[in-house]
Structure 1
Amino acid sequence: MVRRGFVFLRLFISVIALSVVIPTVHPTPVGAFTARNLMYGSQGYDVDELQSRLRLLGYYWGDIDGDFGWKTYWAVRTFQYNFGMKVTGEVDMATKLKLVKATPNWHYQGSSGGNSSASTAESSSASGGSTGGSTTSSTAASAGASANFPASVNGLDQSDLNLMAHVVYGEARGESFEGEVAIAAVILNRLHSDKFPNTVPGIVYSPGAFSCVDDGQVNLTPDATAKKAVMEAVDGWDPTHGALFYFNPAKTSNAFMWSRPEIITIGNHIFTD
């Protein structure tokens, strides 16, 4: 009888111990970003989040497909450059934290297949960096501009043509039509040169390449004239005669730009070799 009571007591103590050691586990929400670093070739829903946050800020123009390709790579580099970070094209925790802080109203909605932004919320760049200009409705602007371009022409797709139009409008609105064509021609001349990246996004988002990227005016919606100027350049009109660089002499004291051999002046821009 005593032994049975002892066994019962040990069993009772064991049950109490288990109830203390093994608490009830409740699942906790997990953010879309994971702890892993993201880089070219990464895939997954955390890349979806990266792309949609970058698109919300106006840095990314491609599909939100969870595939870290070259467009995502160059968008990351530009974000890092504009926010004063080390430019690597890789997304470490510091870059994620900066990106999250810059997009406080972003909400994860899964992959959009490139048809819409993963967030309808507006974001302000409150983290100390700035895209400048207008960051509102960049996805709608992208879609609207692309609709006026052919699916592809001379090896360039709608995304390339649209991005060129944004640069033309950001850099040369107010210039003559020839001056706008000239900006598009410089992008194409760089595309055909072995001294520059071999993609339009790579050229446009190279750190310091275009002032409109640095100050955010690349996010403004291009008008019909800018789009027409891009098509004229793609069709072969090059008012710059092969120029790879240009600058506004009233706005720059950059010794490198002034040292380049001058080819032609069009409006407020000097085009150089």
Structure 2
Amino acid sequence: MNVKVLQHSMTVLLVFLLVFAVPFEAVQAAPPATLKLGSKGADVPDLQYRLKTLGYFSDDLTDYFGTKTLESLTRFQKDHGLEADGVAGEKTWTELKKVSVSQAELNMLARIIYAESRGEPYEGQVAVGAVVLNRVESSSFPDTIKGVIEQPRAFTAVDDGQYKLKPNETAYQAAMEAVRGIDPTNGALYYFNPETATSKWIWSRKQTLKIGRHVFAV
């Protein structure tokens, strides 16, 4: 696909996500409900949002499980080796949460990207998002985006308050790419600015590449 066309498509998707999304700021503690055609409730827009971030669902978010949601969910199930029954049960939710994010989680990811790497090359911003997600997958870190970002002393921008800044569209685009599996770091768990880093420990990590001012390491 032409790069300009791809960038335009991602921008259009982000407009849908940011403008037409039903507010869903709280990550739900209780397991999501089993959903099927005709279902209603707060878990439906979360399902739709997750499918939207992965490119399966293109309509506005609602609290009703209609035919468009059914078609989108069935395609997701087929692509991920699940029974394509159009029902969002335990196995489907488990797989979906492995490869997608909620609206609240995408906002968190965009905020940390903006706070930590605004002004860096776009690839470097995607890389910061990828590091967060790599930590979620690692047994050495918390297993949620919120847990990783809010881990004590993990990110300078959280400690100094920059994490509270409102992210721009580029940060959301970078977050979206990271969620969809783009990882310029090839699995890095750390990054630092060699010009400002004061920790001796971080220099002991195996460095893999440098993007902009950030060195990435495992």
Letter in 1 for 2:103: Q
**Which residue number corresponds to residue 182 of structure 1?**
127
Q: Distance in 2 between matches of 1:257 and 1:192?
A: 20
Q: Does 1:224 align with 2:169?
A: yes
Q: Structure 1 counterpart of 2:127, which letter?
A: A
For 2:101, the equivalent position in structure 1 comes to: 156
1:226-259 CA-partner distances (Å, limit 9, x unpaired): 0000111111111111000010111112011011
CA distance in 1, matches of 2:100, 2:180: 12
Once the two structures are superposed, the pairs formed by residues 244-255 of structure 1 within 5 Å of their partners are: 244-255=189-200
Normalization by structure 1: what TM-score? 0.46
Q: Distance in 2 between matches of 1:197 and 1:260?
A: 19
Separation in 2 of the partners of 1:200 and 1:189?
A: 10
2: CA distance, partners of 1:63 / 1:261: 37
Aligned residue in 1 for 2:185: 240
2:103 maps to 1:165: no
Q: Aligned letter for 2:173?
A: K
> Helix, strand or coil: the match of 1:271?
strand
SS at match of 2:198: coil
Secondary structure, in 3 states, of the residue corresponding to 2:138? Answer: coil
Map Cα deviations across residues 12-60 of structure 1 (whole Å, 9 max, x no partner). Answer: xxxxxxxxxxxxxxxxxxxxxxxxxxxxxxxxxxxxxxxxxxxxxxxxx
Segments of structure 2 that go 5 or more residues without pairing to the other structure are 1-23, 31-48, 54-60, 62-95
Q: Give, as a single letter, the amino acid of the residue that structure 2 aligns with 1:268.
A: R
Q: Which residue of structure 2 aligns with residue 139 of structure 1?
A: none
Matches within 5 A, 1:14-163: 62-63=25-26, 150=53, 154-163=99-108
Structure (1/2) with the larger helix percentage: 2
Question: 2:211 aligns to what?
Answer: 266
Indicate the residue corresponding to 1:195 in structure 2. Answer: 140
The AA in structure 1 aligned to 2:147 is G
CA shift for structure 1 position 156 = 1.6
> Structure 2 vs 1, CA of residues 191 and 63 (structure 1 numbering), >3 Å: closer, same or farther?
closer
Number of matched residues?
134
Identity %: 44
CA–CA distance in structure 2, aligned partners of residues 235 and 197 of structure 1 = 20
Q: Deviations over 1:182-232 (max 9, x none)?
A: 000000100111110001000000000111100111111100000000111
Residue 155 of structure 1: how far off its partner (Å): 3.6
The Cα RMSD (Å) is: 2.6
**Normalised TM-score (structure 2):** 0.57
Instruction: Give unpaired runs (5+ residues) of structure 1.
Output: 1-60, 71-145
